[in-house]
Structure 1
Amino acid sequence: MQENIMTLSDGRKLGFSVYGDKKGIPLFLFHGTPGSRIWFLEDDYIAQRLGVLLIATDRPGYGLSDKKVNRKILEYSSDIEELADYLELDKFSVLGVSGGGAYASAVSHCLTHKVKLCILVSTATPFVDGKPSKAMSKENRLAFFLTNYFPWLLKLVNKTQKRLIDKNPEKYKATLKKGGSHLSEWDNEILLDEEVLENGVVHSKEAYRQGVNEVIYESKLLARDWEFKLEEIKTPIKIWHGENDTLSPVSEVKTMEQRLLNVETHYIEHGGHFLTEKDDVWESIITNKPQILENTLIPLL
């Protein structure tokens, strides 16, 4: 993993990590909410083997990236365009996981001339009237409720979690390992993997590096109008989503799918929210093949 920081035109710092084949096909990775540029404990051997360059970014206020006051989802496209120019990339593709799906969609909407493919994995979906779907787990719905009406309480919860990650990461891992009834069987099984847990600690520590305020603010952003129309996205979109995802209900994704102009969907039977943690699914996503029969790359360029 190669750590990097660039200075944007407005003076803010933007942090990013580089994985895979350094001369490969460029694919930007957008983390969930909360999240960070840390996607792997070491380099990604699958991306290396397939000839894909992975560029994972920290959004403003996360990890190494400076905060941006009153930022909007659409504005992140300007940061990515500057980063692409800095890396001398004329064309590239984007992949957003969970809350990062909103940003991958926004970048594709704004940078049609540069983005060749938009991949949405376990993606967040626009809320209707600012309210999460009743198909979403009650725990997740409660978090969004607290974000809007009792942010001070959610801030306290997140501060407690940050303190646990910083002071007692083993206890944090033990907590994750217990899973919960609000998660699918798929996700609870994923959380028994020691490498996944170790990566989760590093990933989360970076997410909260600058504090917890950005997590709460971004949750509000996701619950509001995203300020662009999904049906106006011209970039080809590939969706990968678990049928048993309790954090981002598949029913809402299928509704979103109907609004997209150029979309191909892959719904994973029994799949939960943590799709990218399984090597075979991850390889399927970056090769754009529901089953791995041969190492044929997705048309990123």
Structure 2
Amino acid sequence: MKEDESVTLPDGRILGYAEYGDPNGKPVLFFHGWPSSRLQAAYLNDDAAKRGIRVLAPDRPGIGKSDPFPKRRFSDWPKDVAGFADALELPRFSVFGVSGGGPYTLATCSSLGERIERAAVVCGAPPLADESDRTHMHWAYRTLSGLKSVRRAALPALIPLSRWMIRRGSHRAPMSWMLKSVPKRDREAIHSGNGWDMVTRSYLVAVDNGPESMLTEGELYIEPWDFNPEDIQVPVRFWHGLADANLPCEVAKRLSQRVPKSEGCWMEGEGHYSLAVFHSTEVLDWLVSRQAEERHSSAP
């Protein structure tokens, strides 16, 4: 486990990353959610190690240890991924994108398809530029996606408040009050050891650089995507909970229909956090299954 690594990209920017699992294993790039950071992938460490998987989790620009990239769009991320993979001498790899990492996963598949084995989008953010698609989002996300002036005025105050809430823990007010607004299955996931660390530890790193980095990242999700999911030729599997109260499953289903060679696993009774926490082993197994088959078929 290495959590404070970095590489220099071709344009001179620094990209921070963490590494988990088997250091000699099959490479899987983990794209974190929002608001989150490279440390979100830590919950995969033990399961990845058991499966011979090397998880590499880069911070996106302006997040954690990565230098900012002003006015970036989703389509800029694949260039950073290519530079990152080149620096680590990874000709091919798979991708695991969770929540807000979903669009970045698909953008990378659209541009770097020849280098990607498989891609998993787990409770991923679908296109949300149309306000009607935000109707069933969690109230906090829906509020922040409203007026730009409101979220830019509110976020500087919300960050120190959120730090204080996290220090008090999930079982104490006001965090315990907020958690009542998420489905029971999600509360079970958050109260688990992996779930609480996955959400809070990575979040605290994400907000270290202040509200501007969070806003730059977050506002991309409510803008039209600048790539075409229809161009993707990589095998993609979507995992999404039918009870997801953060990002609506119906919009994710419509997105999956636009991606060639994709398939969907729509999980009954699972929410947003529960899907990521309780079904990650299924995702890891699927990501390396074809590679395992190829190794087997090439054996003497």
TM over 0.5: yes
Q: Secondary structure at the match of 2:17?
A: strand
Match 1:298 to one of 289, 293, 296: 289
* Higher fraction of helix: 2
1:134, 1:162 → 2: CA distance?
Answer: 24
**Counterpart check, 1:153 vs 2:153:** yes
Q: Which is worse superposed, 37-46 or 118-127?
A: 37-46
Pick closer, same or farther for the CA change 1:298–1:83 going to 2, 3 Å. Answer: same
Q: How does 1:83-232 map to 2 (within 5 A)?
A: 83-129=84-130, 132-146=133-147, 148-161=148-161, 163-164=163-164, 169-171=167-169, 174=172, 175-232=174-231
User: What is aligned with 1:287?
Assistant: 285
TM-score (norm 1): 0.88
Q: Which is worse superposed, 136-145 or 108-117?
A: 136-145
1:236, 1:43 → 2: CA distance?
Answer: 22
Pick closer, same or farther for the CA change 1:182–1:25 going to 2, 3 Å. Answer: same
Deviation at 1:219, TM superposition (A): 1.7
1:108, 1:41 → 2: CA distance?
Answer: 24
Determine if contact 1:132/1:223 at 8 Å carries over to the other structure: no
Q: Secondary structure at the match of 2:239?
A: strand
Which one-letter code corresponds to 1:141 in the other structure? Answer: R
Which one-letter code corresponds to 2:283 in the other structure? Answer: I
Pick closer, same or farther for the CA change 1:26–1:194 going to 2, 3 Å. Answer: closer
Pick closer, same or farther for the CA change 1:196–1:215 going to 2, 3 Å. Answer: same
**Counterpart check, 1:268 vs 2:259:** no
Deviation at 1:131, TM superposition (A): 5.4
Pick closer, same or farther for the CA change 1:156–1:30 going to 2, 3 Å. Answer: same
1:101, 1:116 → 2: CA distance?
Answer: 16
Q: Secondary structure at the match of 1:66?
A: coil
Determine if contact 1:164/1:171 at 8 Å carries over to the other structure: no
Pick closer, same or farther for the CA change 1:194–1:114 going to 2, 3 Å. Answer: closer
Q: Secondary structure at the match of 1:265?
A: strand
Which one-letter code corresponds to 2:216 in the other structure? Answer: Y
User: What is aligned with 2:234?
Assistant: 235
Percent sequence identity over matched residues? 28
Runs of 4+ in 1 over 6 A off after TM superposition: none
Pick closer, same or farther for the CA change 1:232–1:195 going to 2, 3 Å. Answer: closer
Determine if contact 1:94/1:117 at 8 Å carries over to the other structure: yes
Determine if contact 2:36/2:205 at 8 Å carries over to the other structure: yes
Q: Secondary structure at the match of 1:71?
A: coil
2:53, 2:125 → 1: CA distance?
Answer: 25
Which one-letter code corresponds to 1:145 in the other structure? Answer: G
Pick closer, same or farther for the CA change 1:164–1:81 going to 2, 3 Å. Answer: same
1:96, 1:40 → 2: CA distance?
Answer: 10
Determine if contact 1:245/1:273 at 8 Å carries over to the other structure: yes
Q: Secondary structure at the match of 1:299?
A: helix
Pick closer, same or farther for the CA change 1:247–1:53 going to 2, 3 Å. Answer: same
Q: Secondary structure at the match of 1:16?
A: strand
Which one-letter code corresponds to 2:270 in the other structure? Answer: G
2:270, 2:104 → 1: CA distance?
Answer: 23
Determine if contact 2:44/2:280 at 8 Å carries over to the other structure: no
Q: Which is worse superposed, 222-231 or 184-193?
A: 184-193
Deviation at 1:94, TM superposition (A): 0.8
Which one-letter code corresponds to 1:86 in the other structure? Answer: A
Give the paired residue count: 289
Which one-letter code corresponds to 1:138 in the other structure? Answer: W
Q: Secondary structure at the match of 1:39?
A: helix
